[in-house]
Amino acid sequence: MSRRVGRRVVGRGHGRPVSALGAAMCAVAAAAGAVALPGIAAAQDSPPYVFAQGTKAVQGAVTSGDAAELKAGETYRSSIEAGVKGTGLGGGSGAKGAAGTRYYRVDLDGSSDTYVSAVAVPKVGADVKVAFNDSISVTLQDQQGNRCDSEVAAFRSAEYPRPIAATAERVVREGGGRCQDAGTYYVVVARKTAPDSTRERWDLELSVSSEPTLKSPPATTGPGAWSSASPRPPAGIPSERPGGTGFNDARSLRQGVWKDRIRPGQTLFYRVPLDWGQQLFTEAELGTSAGDAQRKGFVPSALNVTLYNPARTPVTSKDASYGGEPSVAALDSLPPVAYENRYLSQADEAGVRFAGWYYLKVSLTPEMKGTFGNKESGVTLRLTVHGEAASAPAYVRDPGAFQVTDADRAAAENGSAQGGGSSLPSAGGQDSGQTGQGGSVRTNRMTVVGIAGIGTGSVLVLGLGVWTYVARRRSPAGW
């Protein structure tokens, strides 16, 4: 049984004269910050999330008749206002023309499986509040209003702002019924907001990925038995690899033991290449800080770990509480990556249906601040990639993001935050990004950000050029 129809809920699952240098750098900053995309928050109000390079701005429509087109292989930046007040989860498609509901359009062929992802990026800060059932939903429907698929991502018990993602899919299969034909389909993104939540506009990152059909008709049932036994986690001294702010600058990891630092309210992203026939086993340990053991306190759901597949579909999630001693969140065992997994009835098992980059989102609740202080905590990731890579299914064309390439393996080996030919658009650059909750991770968590068409490189080069020009004017000849 596939997950094509119905609603899936995901929870557990930011007076003196001015010197020549100062004036010049202010001019650079003003030039970068003066441009704002329509309907999208300005740079100083933007959330700490690095958007994909080359991201295109798109406005969601109030009705389907005005919906802008989203194309496969592209990533878009949009926004959505607060939805209808209420405590229930979003219903998927939303009321036509209702606040908090936006329409987009996709043109699909009659053979490829398609995945439409929406990453909701709320602002962060002590004055921003979200509730248990605050959510974002993505629904894919045909021109007659028939629902192909819908997914809801909510904050659930971890009630603090952080990126959440949901994906709607169109899977083509023999005898599949609705949503099988080529034509125009509508993407409906809806936001549900509780009465006590703050109502800031959320940024959205929208992406459409297309998985080609197979040369021969695929099996329409799931694979047989598989081993759910977890191997012993890797041991040894952990190596440091700082996480990213989102899917686009997620730090690449391979099997091994990795460490990072995380603050209350912060979310970090990592990615692991997983090939056909391989299983991923993940443990995330929240370490102690000096003096924590002497404090009388306990924080439920202190650490949250969520796994996403290459289509940015949430696969599985786990929490760990904290009471002053080390605590571990271990993700449930999942079957080896296989094309036929998409026909399994369990949503988490069906999620490991293709090879590619799998993403780990690690979040630490702000409640840690009140109980154990506003300080960084150590987090250790123990990753096991079990099994040898198997042969890929025979796609009719290059599967794009749904494969593991030599470049991906090299990126995982050297720990780059981007690179690897099969990943979705990488971080930084035009129309994108802010420094993360911990800054960017390319070198030392600092990023120079391009705003509304001023590329990262342009701002950086311009700034360095001004600095060099002024420095040369102040320096003796021959410097």
Average of per-residue pLDDT across 162-186: 93
pLDDT score of 265: 92
Where is pLDDT greater, at 225 or 64?
A: 64
Confidence check: pLDDT of 34 > 80: no
Q: Does position 310 have pLDDT exceeding 70, yes or no? A: yes
Least confident of 94-98, 142-146, 218-222, 372-376: 94-98
pLDDT in tens, 35-63: 333 333 333 333 379 999 999 999 999 99
> Is 90 exceeded by the pLDDT of residue 423?
no
Q: Which of 38-47, 102-111, 236-245, 439-448 has the lowest mean pLDDT?
A: 439-448
pLDDT at 126: 81
Please state, for a pLDDT cut of 90, what percent of the chain lies above it.
63
E strand or H helix at 360, and its extent?
strand 356-364
Distances (CA, A) of 300 to 266, 282, 304, 321, 324: 16, 20, 10, 4, 12
CA distance 372 to 290: 10
pLDDT at 175: 81
Helix (H, G, I), strand (E, B) or coil at 252: strand
Residue 428 — left, alpha, or beta (φ > 0 → left; ψ -120 to 50 → alpha)? left
Report in angstroms the alpha-carbon separations of 100 from 13, 73, 312.
22, 26, 22
What pLDDT does residue 91 have?
42
- The one-letter code for the residue type at 305 is V
Structure confidence at residue 124 (pLDDT): 85
Amino acid at position 191, single letter: R
Mean of pLDDT values over 59-72: 96
Residue type, 467: W
Residue 450 has pLDDT above 60, yes or no: no
Distance CA 459, CA 454 (A): 7
Query: Is pLDDT above 50 for 131?
Result: yes
Contact 441, 419 (CB under 8 A): no
Q: What is the pLDDT of residue 99?
A: 66
**Amino acid present at 312:** R
Which pLDDT does position 351 carry in this prediction? 97
pTM greater than 0.95 (yes/no): no
Residue 295 amino acid letter: R
For 340-353, how does the pLDDT look when each residue is reduced to its tens digit (9 = 90+)?
A: 999 999 999 999 99
Please, which residues bridge with residue 8 across strands?
A: 151
CA atoms within 13 A on the CB side of 419: 15
Band of the pLDDT at 77, cuts 50, 70, 90? very high
Question: For position 166, what pLDDT does the model report?
Answer: 97
Half-sphere exposure (CA, 13 Å, Cβ side) for 139? 24
Q: Which residue has the higher pLDDT, 186 or 4?
A: 186
E strands, 279-344, are 279-286, 299-308, 314-322, 327-330
